[in-house]
Structure 1
Amino acid sequence: MTGPSFDRTLSDEDVLRRRATLLQRLHIDGPLLLLLLLLAAGSLFVLYSASGRNLDLLMRQASSFGLGLLAMLVIAQLEVRFIARWVPLAYVLGVILLLIVDVMGHNAMGATRWINIPGVIRFQPSEFMKIIMPATIAWYLARNNLPPGLRHTAVTLALIGIPFVLIVRQPDLGTSLLILASGAFVLFVAGLPWLWITGAVAAVVPVAVGMWYFVLHDYQKQRIHTFLDPESDPLGTGWNIIQSKAAIGSGGVFGKGWLLGTQSHLDFLPESHTDFIIAVLAEEFGLVGACLLLLVYLLLIARGLVITVQAQTLFGKLWAGGLTMTFFVYVFVNIGMVSGLLPVVGVPLPFISYGGTSLVTLLSGFGVLMSIHTHRKWIAQV
């Protein structure tokens, strides 16, 4: 490149930098930030009622939001090429943490899913794999020719299978399926042949039969029985879903009003501040409130898809697509299980349900999307 041309290009770049807004200079995507702040405010509003006006729980949730927003801001500053260098190490560390959970993890409510450092922190390593898994598959596939061939697909499935098995052993079927979906979506975005996708769909039935006999625990099988016929045990395993549907239906169009829900405040609805929190929202704010929440989710997913299409690197495109579609599954599974359309698998509602590790992980994922979108190549590099 000659001197004068190079100077002119730099001048154009300087102009672009001067015109950049504060959010652009901070590598923050305005639409995403606005939608996330709306969800944060709505979460604290609903959680206060769902938790029985528990201010201590509310403050912990607010602190988790603050930590998550900080993580999102930090990650957004990192260029995707820099992040890609550390993806293999992150995957290895993630698997090691899952192995630690398997050997000496903290047990609560019959499941061993946490690493507990007394007096310091308790966290759930499987949550971090929701970001690491699609990043790992995107990193591997981006280094090879697409669409992926049989060998690369086999390696990809092995990379997905290791954490999937470790998380199933905890046991945590809901999170393990999300991890599986996050890797599978990256394969789909990479152009996996439709013939193979059709074969995978056809294999669902024999795989499901195998899981029923050799993988699922008794309580997980009971959840499927309850899904098919919740009235068979209305005072036992069917209680949660029956009360959840009663709460959703009793809210009507406009709801009973904030703090006036009966199912949660009279303790008819278990886990009202975690997995079943959307039932509280529907009871107190009705169909209108639930539809507004769904609208915010749809806008977030739409923005994620726009970022995926506009990504300037193959790695960024694959990772963004995987993260966006995994978020969609996250929302779909929770709402489906609370409304009785899917079996209960213990998946919280993103940003609304109580949970610190989940919040930080979700916001970190959106920090990745912001990094992919805002670290644009300047005119000299296009």
Structure 2
Amino acid sequence: MNAPLTTKFYRPQYDRSFSFASKLLRVNWLFVLACCALAGIGYAALYSAAGGHGQPYATPQIERFFASLLLMIAIAMIDIRIIAKCAWPLYGLGIVLLIAVWKFGHVGLGAKRWLDVGGVHVQPSELMKLFLALALASWFQRATHERVGNPLFLIPPVLAILVPAALILKEPNLGTAVITMAIGGSVLLGAGVRWWKFAIVIALVAIIAPYAYSHLHGYQKERILTFLHPGRDPLGAGYNIIQSKIALGSGGMWGQGFLHGTQNQLNFLPEKQTDFVFTIIAEEFGFAGSIVLLGVLFSMVMMAIYTALRCRHQFGRLAALGIATNLFLYCFVNLAMVMGLIPVGGVPLPLVSYGGSALTAVMLGFGVLMSIHVHRDVEFAVSEE
């Protein structure tokens, strides 16, 4: 079960006879429809967050979505073998952008996470998660079972995970750094790295956790303390999660009705257009509406995993696994955060929360996923080592 799914070495070759029309027919349009449904739910939530107005959240967000949707379809038309060839250059670009954030980044809410490019704020850490998945998939595409079992062979991919994670942690952005490492871990696991090696890493993390806690930023420690004892500061650090739980519970089975959520309309909900957007849906559409949203998200994760399972080449399988892991962790962390199950970490709900960088990065990943689906049966020509 831990063995990699291929034992050959490959280099890209391109089949020019694969027509544009045939590629369009092979796109997973059910997944595209799910993306549109999710964006529609997000539009309704952001429209309500602004008190029944398209500005400043809903209209810009839906405009960005449709632009990103076209970009997603365009990426789906690109031969996956070309994307594989660009994997490590993209990874290098991501590292450069993260270093640029460290040196020249825009400060917001006490953290350097954005680059100001022509008046537009770009968050390279969101792009880095995709680039890392592609780079690791490219590395293990060329690996035999024997090489995967060699600890020396694993040093470069492990460093490839730790370097961006460290740069993201420096911003500071603990939530995204943890997700980045989890994406890397999922690709390593899918490539056939043995379970016991992960057990050693987990044990080491447990050992250094107390030391790491002492070096966290003050606000990060406060988030952990608030998670453990939300009532210790109900009007300060604990305010967000307390109001979130009130909104979640007040929706009942069917909700209070669109534009009639009291916590939302009376502005009790914190960061309701970004991190806590799910609370608007739960309050106004109730448990039933929440289940619909969760159903759409679950179906998208399962379709991403299905793409990984159906793909004939190792690069596509591992890249799709990394993208599916990213989508799942986006959803899990955000939903668990607003329910008070984990500390607040500033992770948005994909295609629902307001924010251009996260939306664009997610849609780029979906574009690669669709390219994998379209080109799932292509072959990478065998090359000599």
CA distance in 1, matches of 2:66, 2:153: 39
> Could you say which residue in structure 2 is the equivalent of 1:51?
50
> Could you say which residue in structure 2 is the equivalent of 1:102?
102
Structure 1 alignment gaps of length 5 or more = 1-13
CA distance in 1, matches of 2:64, 2:76: 18
Conservation of the 8 A alpha-carbon contact between 1:115 and 1:124: yes
> Could you say which residue in structure 2 is the equivalent of 1:32?
31
Q: How does 1:189-200 map to 2 (within 5 A)?
A: 189-200=190-201
3-state SS of 1:107 partner: strand
> Could you say which residue in structure 1 is the equivalent of 2:325?
325
CA distance in 1, matches of 2:116, 2:296: 34
1:135 partner amino acid: L
Q: How does 1:196-275 map to 2 (within 5 A)?
A: 196-214=197-215, 216-275=216-275
Compared with structure 1, are the counterparts of its residues 260 and 26 closer, same or farther at alpha carbon in structure 2 (3 Å cutoff)?
same
Conservation of the 8 A alpha-carbon contact between 2:301 and 2:324: yes
1:48 partner amino acid: Y
Conservation of the 8 A alpha-carbon contact between 1:243 and 1:263: yes
> Could you say which residue in structure 1 is the equivalent of 2:276?
276
Which whole-Å deviations, capped at 9, do the CAs of 1:307-335 have from their partners, x for residues lacking one?
Answer: 10111111111110111022111100100
Conservation of the 8 A alpha-carbon contact between 1:301 and 1:324: yes
> Could you say which residue in structure 2 is the equivalent of 1:82?
82
Compared with structure 1, are the counterparts of its residues 148 and 76 closer, same or farther at alpha carbon in structure 2 (3 Å cutoff)?
farther
Is 1:365 paired with 2:365? yes
Compared with structure 1, are the counterparts of its residues 140 and 243 closer, same or farther at alpha carbon in structure 2 (3 Å cutoff)?
same
Is 1:161 paired with 2:162? yes
CA distance in 2, matches of 1:166, 1:262: 40
3-state SS of 1:252 partner: coil
Q: How does 1:351-362 map to 2 (within 5 A)?
A: 351-362=351-362
2:274 partner amino acid: T
Once the 2 structures are TM-superposed, how far is the Cα of residue 363 of structure 1 from its aligned partner? Answer: 1.1
CA distance in 2, matches of 1:23, 1:183: 33
Conservation of the 8 A alpha-carbon contact between 2:312 and 2:378: no
Conservation of the 8 A alpha-carbon contact between 2:256 and 2:283: yes
> Could you say which residue in structure 2 is the equivalent of 1:345?
345
CA distance in 2, matches of 1:118, 1:88: 26
Conservation of the 8 A alpha-carbon contact between 1:350 and 1:359: yes
TM value normalised by structure 2: 0.90
Structure 2 alignment gaps of length 5 or more = 1-16
Which whole-Å deviations, capped at 9, do the CAs of 1:350-376 have from their partners, x for residues lacking one?
Answer: 111001111111111111111111124
3-state SS of 1:354 partner: coil
> Could you say which residue in structure 2 is the equivalent of 1:3?
none
TM value normalised by structure 1: 0.90
2:155 partner amino acid: A
Is 1:187 paired with 2:192? no
Compared with structure 1, are the counterparts of its residues 339 and 27 closer, same or farther at alpha carbon in structure 2 (3 Å cutoff)?
same
Between structure 1 and structure 2, the one with the greater Rg is 1
User: Aligned residues, how many?
Assistant: 361
Compared with structure 1, are the counterparts of its residues 353 and 159 closer, same or farther at alpha carbon in structure 2 (3 Å cutoff)?
same
3-state SS of 2:260 partner: coil
Range that drifts further, 340-349 or 121-130: 121-130
Percent identity for Structure 1 against Structure 2? 40
3-state SS of 1:248 partner: helix
2:103 partner amino acid: V
3-state SS of 1:81 partner: helix
RMSD: 1.9
Compared with structure 1, are the counterparts of its residues 276 and 208 closer, same or farther at alpha carbon in structure 2 (3 Å cutoff)?
same
CA distance in 2, matches of 1:70, 1:197: 39
> Could you say which residue in structure 2 is the equivalent of 1:300?
300
Conservation of the 8 A alpha-carbon contact between 2:313 and 2:376: no
